Amino acid sequence: MSRRPFTDLIALRDWFQRQKRILPWREDPSPYRVWVSEIMLQQTQVVTVVPYFDRFLKAFPTVESLARSTDEDVMREWQGLGYYSRARNLRAAAQAIVAQGGFPNTRDGWESLKGVGPYTAGAILSIAFHQPEALVDGNVERVFARLFRISRSELGDTEYKKTLWGHAERLIAETARLKIDPSIVNQAWMEIGATVCVPAASQVKCGICPLSPSCSARKNEQVAVYPEKKKRLEKIQVEEQVLVVFDRKRDRVWMEKPDAQAKWRNGLWDFPKISQAPRTPDHEVQIQYVVTRHQVKRRAFVLLNAESIAKNSPSHENGEWVSASSPERPMGAPVRKLLALVQEQMNA
Ligand code: SF4
């Protein structure tokens, strides 16, 4: 592994201080705020996270308030953000943090909490605790793969990952030796990846990149080659049928409580699933959406009148009537979308 000149890190620090985006978790980067933001940012873009972060922090301003919340309270604030296991893990970790008397300040301590892996631990320790801890996320991977021309196909997946982390560890140790704040340098790697060394090779801005003088991909005109593409996994097709019992007079729909065993949407309310379409639906609506690798096609059979509702009445044990125009129960984005679509079509 070649040694990088010191000037890269100094140029990177200076660039970040001039160009960093104003983001809510960057004001007052306390362990709680950094941790919540990092969990929200897993698999989700900054622009989507910002309003959720503000709302979540208003609802749960401290780790103690989050630890005291119910699963449904947390789901209500998280609904629409997706990857709901993150919300459940966050609440479980808040309870563990309160039980142990405060935030951990070691990598082992953070990684023992639910939902925190090596990247998230590195981010929290460097950004909130200013410790020289390495991190590699998708943005850092792309920057390093181009900067050092690291080939996944030559190294294989395991060695490729090890090489990326090796660079991250070497560079953060160098950062500490130069007495540069690890918080700044780690955020700068990610910021460069998000705003300058972006995925689409045609939009990469090498001309304004502080790493440009020593970037191997740029020098060799191979920016479009790195990082090498991962093989895309094929989408799995899923078909679902649900019943939308819509009592228009009272502006309410019948919904079911979260299924604790559900693979997805755990903790979220949904329409009753059915294996057979009702014989006399009043209307039918279809939506399609993607969850991880699954391409879901959902057919919703709408029952509007008393007769069809009585004939196809769902079980009363698992559900309740929920306001159709302002539902207060936590629901996933596809369920909200379906409800809005049903209302729109019924009111047309
Ligand atoms: S010089 Fe270009 S390819 Fe290299 S790190 Fe900077 S933006 Fe990425």
CATH label of the domain that carries residue 201: 1.10.340.30
Is 348 buried (19+), middle (13-18) or exposed (0-12) by CB count in 10 A? exposed
- Whether 206 lines ligand 1, by a CB cut-off of 6 Å, is yes
- Residue 145 pLDDT: 98
Within this chain, do residues 214 and 282 fall inside the same structural domain, yes or no?
Answer: no
How far is it, in rounded angstroms, from Cα 47 to Cα 345?
30
Distance 225 CA to ligand 1 centre (A): 12
Is residue 343 in a domain? yes
Within this chain, do residues 110 and 177 fall inside the same structural domain, yes or no?
Answer: yes
Is residue 229 in a domain? no
Within this chain, do residues 210 and 131 fall inside the same structural domain, yes or no?
Answer: yes
Annotation marks residue 38 as catalytic: yes
Within this chain, do residues 206 and 242 fall inside the same structural domain, yes or no?
Answer: no
Final residue of a structural domain among 193, 219, 245: 219
Average pLDDT for runs of 10 along the chain of length 348:
65 96 96 98 95 98 98 93 93 98 98 97 98 97 97 95 97 95 97 97 97 95 94 88 89 83 75 87 91 90 74 67 87 90 85
In sequence order, which ranges of the chain are alpha helices (DSSP H)?
Answer: 6-19, 31-41, 46-59, 63-68, 71-78, 85-99, 107-111, 118-127, 138-147, 152-155, 157-177, 182-195, 216-219, 306-311, 333-347
Within this chain, do residues 23 and 123 fall inside the same structural domain, yes or no?
Answer: yes
Distance 147 CA to ligand 1 centre (A): 6
- Whether 146 lines ligand 1, by a CB cut-off of 6 Å, is yes
Is residue 162 in a domain? yes
Final residue of a structural domain among 189, 219, 249: 219
Q: Please state the atom number of ligand 1 nearest to the C-alpha of residue 209.
A: 6
Within this chain, do residues 38 and 91 fall inside the same structural domain, yes or no?
Answer: yes
Q: Which domain holds residue 273?
A: 236-347
- Whether 145 lines ligand 1, by a CB cut-off of 6 Å, is no
Cβ contact 73:327 at 8 Å: no
Within this chain, do residues 211 and 285 fall inside the same structural domain, yes or no?
Answer: no
User: Domains in the chain: how many in total?
Assistant: 2
Active-site residue (options: 38, 133, 141, 174): 38
- Residue 158 pLDDT: 95
- Whether 223 lines ligand 1, by a CB cut-off of 6 Å, is yes
